[in-house]
Chain A
Amino acid sequence: PALPEGWSAEKDFKAIGSITASSQRTIEPVGPHFLAHARRARHKRTFSEDDRI
């Protein structure tokens, strides 16, 4: 939507809430994307760090 009149925030970004609900589940340890996830998890890398490699 269009920006309402008089809207302002520091650096034009305003955090309001945070994620309300989540559940603990287990991903199946199968497939190339899981192996990539496991690699990131074991080396504690983020997505962008992983992209750079």
Chain B
Amino acid sequence: MPAKTISPEERVAIGIAFGNSYSSIACTVDGSPVVIANEDGDRQIPTVLSYVDGEEYTGNQAKAFLIRNAKNTVVSFKDFLGKEFKAIDPTHCHAAAHPQAAGDSISFTVQDKAEGDASTLTVSEITTRYLRRLVQSASDYLGKTVNSAVISVPTNFSEKQRDALIKAANDADIEVLQLINEPVSSVLAYDARPEGEVKDKIVVVADLGGSRSDVAVIASRGGLYTILATVHDYEFHGLALDKVLRDHFAKEFMKKNKDVDPREDTRGLAKLKAESESAKKALSIGTNASFSVESLAEGIDFQTTINRLRYETIARKVFEGITRLVESVIKKAELDVLDIDEIILSGGTAHTPRIANNFRAIFPESTAIQAPSTNPSALNPSELQARGAALQASLIQEYESEDIEQSTHPAVGTVKHITNAIGVVSVEDGDEVFVPVIAPETAVPARRTIHIAAPKEGGDVLVKIVEGNTHIKVTKPEATPKENGTKDDEDSDEDSDFDSDDEEPEELREKVWKIGTTLAEGAIKGVKKGGNVEVTITVAGDLGVTVTTREVGGKGGIRGTIKAP
């Protein structure tokens, strides 16, 4: 497909996060990403398009029309791009314009003109119109016409969907520089901060959205990201939380007004939905939220409050579902929670404090949890994808389109990744231990250097290069014996009772390195007392290894190669 291309000099590029529920736009100012607010002042712009008397509305204005003008309002259409009618789940469109089959595509029928018949618009056309408005907001902010963008997409977006999105964007006069995967966009948003550092780490990105939740495990190795596993879920998400609140408020209303269910009235339901979402957002910030709707059903006003604790109780099932999703993706990557260095919470639902707290409970202390409630310096979860996309846009906007295509072609990035870690053997307290130099799942070619203490007395040192891998060591602390001997028999009664009934000795799980195959040995002679040895290991694309090692501050050193397998 001949895609729209623009020369680098004429390019004004932004990052777009295009979601089913919300979208956002971002640009970079002096290299740092800035999320752009639209003319309504919103940074999270609802992905909604509505027509009233021939006027086009998007964002929150369009969303408000779900109450009075539902059938000319299109919602939740992004996942329909590039799909056939029979493959979609139209659940979230029930209260708005309904999707219908249109050949091998999907369309919506809306009255988009002041007069005349209603129009049948394909999902591609709807997307084009919506993107046009998004980009217009960015152009207004920048004072320049935006003509290209990097757009983030879910990892399970098919090639057909990717092509459909590129076409819809091209039709809106936007050149798509690149489509990037949403979880990677979030990791980039964190790593590119001035205080962010490029480290070898395993990151879980939990993207908790409105109508879907996507979780990915990513190996971040020297700033290169490799996705190890993903899961996608369409059951535990923000709309499920809205429904919990909606049912709760509807029941409260029915206690006071017998036989009147506001959910059975279309407008009543639309009002309940809108207000439940607001209450949910308020409960992420404060511990109390008020809920009030004028003329909820049969002309009766309704007003009540809810506190966070009550909300967390009624929403427990959804929260637990999200925790299970994260556990399942880690299992799918054949890893353990102990292997996870960082978890990034992304998406609107990630603002919920309870979700981050639940993660805190399943991960070890060493795992950094990037969410507003667990880390005051965390970035806004709603902004991550747009920030990442804007950063990527700023990195590649100076390239010719052809260069971008060649550089980002999957063939360039499809390389061997080492399964085991490569490291050196060191001696600690008389035991041989493994010190990793290159982490497992590192893409090759790769180069890493470490400094390691030589034996205290100095002298001649053996540098032993080995493979290593981790396993989880489970130790059960020995149960406190019932009979503590005669010494403290008197006061041990209650203690042992307490121990055996309530305190099942908790298993201690820890990650330990196991030394594997030896790759090479080298000798550094005459190391000073208390000296350090520098070891640099370079693994080439063909898995051949070059080792250079010397005493820190010393001269010479040795260099050797290990041939490829």
Q: Taking beta carbons and an 8 Å cutoff, which residues of A are in contact with B?
A: 1-4, 7, 9, 11-35, 37-42, 46-47
A interface, by DSSP: helix, strand, loop or mixed? mixed
Q: Is B467's CB within 8 Å of the partner chain A?
A: yes
- 8 Å CB contacts to A: which residues of B477-505? none
Number of A-B contacts (CB under 8 A): 190
- 8 Å CB contacts to A: which residues of B381-430? 388, 391-392, 395-396, 406-410, 412-420, 422, 425-427
Interchain CA distance A12-B256 in the complex, whole Å = 87
- Inter-chain contacts of A33 with B (CB < 8 A): 198, 222-224
Interchain CA distance A30-B153 in the complex, whole Å = 13
Interchain CA distance A47-B432 in the complex, whole Å = 32
B409 to chain A, nearest CB (A): 8
Q: Across the two chains, which residue of chain B brings its CB closest to A5? A: B460
Q: Across the two chains, which residue of chain A brings its CB closest to B524? A: A12
Q: Across the two chains, which residue of chain A brings its CB closest to B547? A: A13
> Contact: B455 with A24, CB < 8 Å?
no
Interchain CA distance A24-B542 in the complex, whole Å = 12
Q: Is B83's CB within 8 Å of the partner chain A?
A: no
Given contacts A18-B545, A25-B226, A28-B413, is CB(A1)–CB(B427) below 8 Å? yes
- 8 Å CB contacts to A: which residues of B212-235? 218, 222-228
> Contact: B523 with A47, CB < 8 Å?
no
Residues of B in contact (CB 8 Å), total 78
Interchain CA distance A26-B563 in the complex, whole Å = 24
Q: Is B14's CB within 8 Å of the partner chain A?
A: no
A25 to chain B, nearest CB (A): 5
- Inter-chain contacts of A2 with B (CB < 8 A): 455, 459-462
- Inter-chain contacts of B462 with A (CB < 8 A): 1-4, 7
**Which of B228, B558, B563 makes the CB contact (< 8 A) with A18?**
B563
Q: A15-B562, A16-B520, A22-B418 are in contact. List 18 more A-B contacts (CB 8 A).
A: A1-B461, A2-B462, A3-B523, A14-B520, A15-B563, A18-B545, A19-B545, A19-B562, A22-B416, A22-B543, A27-B224, A27-B415, A28-B225, A30-B184, A31-B188, A33-B198, A34-B413, A46-B445
**0/1 interface trace, chain B 178-197, chain A, CB 8 Å (1 if under):** 10110011001001100000
Q: Can you identify 27 A-B contacts, CB atoms within 8 angstroms? A: A1-B426, A3-B460, A3-B462, A3-B523, A7-B462, A14-B521, A16-B518, A17-B518, A18-B563, A19-B562, A22-B444, A24-B414, A25-B416, A26-B226, A26-B227, A26-B413, A27-B225, A27-B415, A28-B181, A28-B225, A28-B227, A30-B185, A31-B225, A35-B395, A37-B412, A37-B443, A42-B412
**Which of B523, B539, B562 makes the CB contact (< 8 A) with A9?**
B523
A36 to chain B, nearest CB (A): 8
The 7 closest A-B CB pairs, nearest first, are A33-B223, A13-B560, A21-B419, A3-B460, A29-B408, A27-B413, A38-B407
- Inter-chain contacts of A16 with B (CB < 8 A): 518-521, 562
Q: Taking beta carbons and an 8 Å cutoff, which residues of B are in contact with A?
A: 178, 180-181, 184-185, 188, 191-192, 198, 218, 222-228, 388, 391-392, 395-396, 406-410, 412-420, 422, 425-427, 432, 441, 443-445, 447, 455, 459-462, 464, 467, 516-525, 538-540, 543-545, 547, 558-565
- Inter-chain contacts of A21 with B (CB < 8 A): 418-420
Interchain CA distance A4-B461 in the complex, whole Å = 9
Give the interface centre of A12, A20, A39, A40 by most chain B CB atoms within 10 Å: A12
- Inter-chain contacts of B522 with A (CB < 8 A): 9, 12-14
Given contacts A1-B427, A26-B414, is CB(A32)–CB(B558) below 8 Å? no
Q: Across the two chains, which residue of chain A brings its CB closest to B441? A: A25
A6 to chain B, nearest CB (A): 11
A33 to chain B, nearest CB (A): 3
> Contact: A29 with B517, CB < 8 Å?
no
- Inter-chain contacts of B419 with A (CB < 8 A): 20-23
> Contact: A18 with B564, CB < 8 Å?
yes
- Inter-chain contacts of A35 with B (CB < 8 A): 395-396, 407
Interchain CA distance A24-B67 in the complex, whole Å = 51
A5 to chain B, nearest CB (A): 10
> Contact: A30 with B467, CB < 8 Å?
no
A9 to chain B, nearest CB (A): 7
B521 to chain A, nearest CB (A): 5
B537 to chain A, nearest CB (A): 11
- Inter-chain contacts of B539 with A (CB < 8 A): 19
Interchain CA distance A38-B178 in the complex, whole Å = 15
**Which of A18, A19, A23, A31 makes the CB contact (< 8 A) with B223?**
A31
- Inter-chain contacts of B184 with A (CB < 8 A): 28, 30-31
> Contact: B519 with A19, CB < 8 Å?
yes
Given contacts A13-B560, A27-B224, A30-B184, is CB(A20)–CB(B420) below 8 Å? yes
Interchain CA distance A27-B219 in the complex, whole Å = 9
Given contacts A17-B518, A21-B418, A21-B419, is CB(A41)–CB(B227) below 8 Å? no
